[in-house]
Amino acid sequence: MSTAKKTLFLTGGSGYLGQRLIPLAVAKYNYTIRALSRTPTSDALLRSLGAIPIRGDLTSHAVLRAESRSADAIIHLATAYEFGKHASYDEVKHVDMGGIDAMFEGLRDSASHYQGNDGEDEQKEKEKTFITTSGTLITAPDPSGAETNETSPLDPNPINTRGEVEQYVLENGDKERRIKPISIRLAPYVHGHAGSGIRRWMNLAAQTGQIPLVGDGSNRITAVHVDDAAELYLLAVERGGEGEVYNAAAETGVTAGEMFGAVAEMMGVEVARMSVEEAEGRMGRVVARFLSVENRASGGKARRELGWVVRGRGVLEEIREGSYRDVVDVIKNQV
């Protein structure tokens, strides 16, 4: 790992993934973390994790430019989209794009100032990486049921338009200024430490006495432990190639029926089966598609090119024997 102290600017640091990434970046990768923070509560959390909070959000363009100008690398986890609050990602896409523009302006400005210095070795040290976040769901399922990869065709009818952000970032690379864009496509089921989507489904089960299953549950999912996903981001900063895309994907053989069945089993509730059409009426098209689509995204490229090693429990084991099992009684007692 890198021994020289470098500065990493992080958005979304107080979120589920960011809380696992910050301690790893500080302890293992020797980064100083400066993390965007919207509230005093987030300030305190970020400090406890080892980061320096920077007050602002994705509309704080002056802050984003200044932090990007002084950072050695940027990991962009944040989005203005809030599940359940916004009907469509298109409502906030302009906010995300504006924040990205501001960060790239800062990167270009720092690169322009640096170009006056001589020395090839120095220039290599000053290469700046911008990592954005996408999702494996932007890829269309393979017609034969095989795994997809980072070069597979994109879904012509995506769940939302956030995939456009990935392409926008990748097109902003600049070899002359040594600005290196990379995208990490997260699995739809990032799990571990009793958090993320699985925790939300457990909360719903406690409140309603059932778990929804859209369709017949045979659609396979892509899952990754949050600790492994955090490691991949940092490996991409250290070793990733310019303009490359890497799937944060650990397993692709579990079906939606198996996963939601495991949640139902742990929570002691029934599985409520419904058609895709019924789910759209109850939960909206985005959620219905999310729960019913097949997604089998290979993480082989990250393993081969970055040396990524998957160490976390699989999603079914994590539900039945790991962190989610440990919080079943806590969730039930909150109802």
Per the domain annotation, does 283 fall within a domain? no
**Which pLDDT score, from 0 to 100, does residue 56 have?**
97
Low-confidence stretches of the chain (pLDDT < 70) are 1-4, 84, 111-125, 175-176
**Which pLDDT score, from 0 to 100, does residue 111 have?**
65
User: What is the number of alpha carbons within 13 Å of residue 312 lying toward its C-beta?
Assistant: 27
Q: Which tokens is 20 given?
A: 């696992």
CB 290 within 8 A of CB 188: yes
Per the domain annotation, does 61 fall within a domain? yes
Per the domain annotation, does 119 fall within a domain? yes
Give the predicted TM-score (pTM) of the model: 0.94
Per the domain annotation, does 332 fall within a domain? no
The CATH number covering residue 162 comes to 3.40.50.720
Per the domain annotation, does 90 fall within a domain? yes
Per the domain annotation, does 199 fall within a domain? no
- The domain tally of the chain equals 1
Cα-based distances in Å from 215 to 2, 206, 295: 47, 22, 15
**Which pLDDT score, from 0 to 100, does residue 3 have?**
58
**Which pLDDT score, from 0 to 100, does residue 126 have?**
73
Cα separation, 185 vs 136, in Å, equals 5
**Which pLDDT score, from 0 to 100, does residue 124 have?**
45
Strand, coil or helix: 107: helix
Per the domain annotation, does 124 fall within a domain? yes
Per the domain annotation, does 57 fall within a domain? yes
Percent of the chain with pLDDT over 90: 84
Length of the chain counted residue by residue: 335
Range of the domain at 159: 6-189+224-250+297-313
Cα-based distances in Å from 208 to 204, 242, 284: 6, 47, 18
Cα separation, 333 vs 314, in Å, equals 27
pLDDT digits over 153-182, tens only? 999 999 888 889 999 999 987 766 789 999
Cα separation, 153 vs 53, in Å, equals 39
